[in-house]
Amino acid sequence: MTTFSSGDNNVPAIDGEHSGSGTAIVANSVRGVGVHGVNDAPQGSSLKPDFGVGVWGESTNGFGVFGSADNNVGVKGVSSHDDGVQGRSSGPDHSGVSGFNTGGGIGIFGESTGNDGVQGNSQDPGHSGVAGFNQKGGTGVFGKSLGGRGIWGQGSPAGHFDGDVEVTKTITCFDVALAGADCAEEFDLAGVEDAPPGSVMSLDEHGRLSPSRTAYDRRVAGVLSGAGDYKPGVVLDRRSGERNRAPLALIGKVYCWVDADFGAIEVGDLLTTSPTQGHAMKVDDPAKAIGAIIGKALQRLTTRRGLIPILVTLL
């Protein structure tokens, strides 16, 4: 059933109803606007479903509003008092408003002179107010501003990223909280020797790293990050795609391989390189240890070899 009205304020200009599985109203445009709705209702108007809505689409299991155009706007809504376009859907697998563009243009475009261009609200804690997906390798959500913030987030946390984040310019912040335990820097490795995380590493003649092999080695550079429960909080000089490099802990806490057979290790003991490859030992000769101290033990180990946390303090 379709009705048309031009005089009664309480009757829609176009009302479409379909009792089957078809479409109540279809609007197609080759060069113009598929659907253009204008509502200049004054404040407090009795027009339904709400005053001031240019186009209202509501669906319990599909699209609230769907518009298709070959050369212009699929759906355009203009309102002087409220939303230009508003869509609601009660179907769990469908969108309130969904936009598609197969010709290289914009799927959904929102513009406002006094408020948000596009606003999305969700009352489901597991879903987003606005979600962007790109299945062709492009950008899921893009924000650009000529005088303000391209993307602004508020909440606790204000943003969450599951993956790497690239920043090409300055980051300004008031505080930084890092989950990692040490500050590391990548170095080239010498050869392909077995050097697991936690290994004590020394420099060769070319500045590359190899596992330490002698006691009180003044070429000691640090401990490889990533062993045990401690992961690096900051990694400097990371070079994407380059092989045979590893992060070396320079400051902070790191798990380190130690050999207690050269002397029982207690909390607070100074550590240096040992004759056991890639392992530290307790300093028992402070004069020899000058320039070869790795750090302080944060856990005791009285016999054999093991992995313990240490505080890196290169001296």
Q: Across residues 23-41, what is the average pLDDT?
A: 69
**pLDDT at position 221:** 94
pLDDT digits 0-9 by tens, 8-18: 555 666 666 66
Q: Which residues contact 190 (CB under 8 A, 6 or more apart)?
A: 204, 206, 208, 209, 210
- What is the C-alpha separation between 249 and 235, in angstroms, rounded? 9
Q: Is the pLDDT of residue 280 over 90?
A: yes
Summarised one tens digit per residue, pLDDT across range 48-104 is: 555 566 777 777 766 777 777 777 777 777 777 677 777 777 766 667 777 777 766
Furthest CA-CA distance within the chain: 102
pLDDT in tens, 152-203: 888 888 888 888 888 898 888 888 888 888 889 999 999 766 789 999 999 9
Question: Do the bridges between strand 28-29 and strand 68-69 make them parallel or antiparallel, or are there none, so unpaired?
Answer: parallel
Burial of 240 (0-12, 13-18, 19+ CB in 10 A): exposed
SS (H, E, C) 97-159: CCCCCCCCCCCCCCCCCCCCCCCCCCCCCCCCCCCCCCCCCCCCCCCCCCCCCCCCCCCCCCC
Instruction: Name the more confident of 54 and 137.
Output: 137
275, pLDDT greater than 80: yes
Which domains occur in the chain, in start order? 1-132 (no CATH), 182-312 (2.40.300.10)
Residue matched to tokens 């902070």: 252
Provide, rounded to the nearest whole percent, the portion of the chain with pLDDT above 70. Answer: 80
Neighbours of 38 (CB within 10 A): 13
Q: Compare 73 and 271 and report the one with higher pLDDT.
A: 271
pTM score of the predicted model: 0.59
d(CA 162, CA 158): 14
User: In this model, does residue 293 exceed pLDDT 60?
Assistant: yes
Residue 134 phi/psi, 5° resolution? -135, 115
The 3-state DSSP composition of the chain as helix, strand, coil percent (nearest 5) reads 0, 30, 70
**Mean pLDDT to the nearest integer, 276-302:** 96
**Average of per-residue pLDDT across 277-283:** 97
| Mean pLDDT over each residue of the chain, to the nearest integer | 82
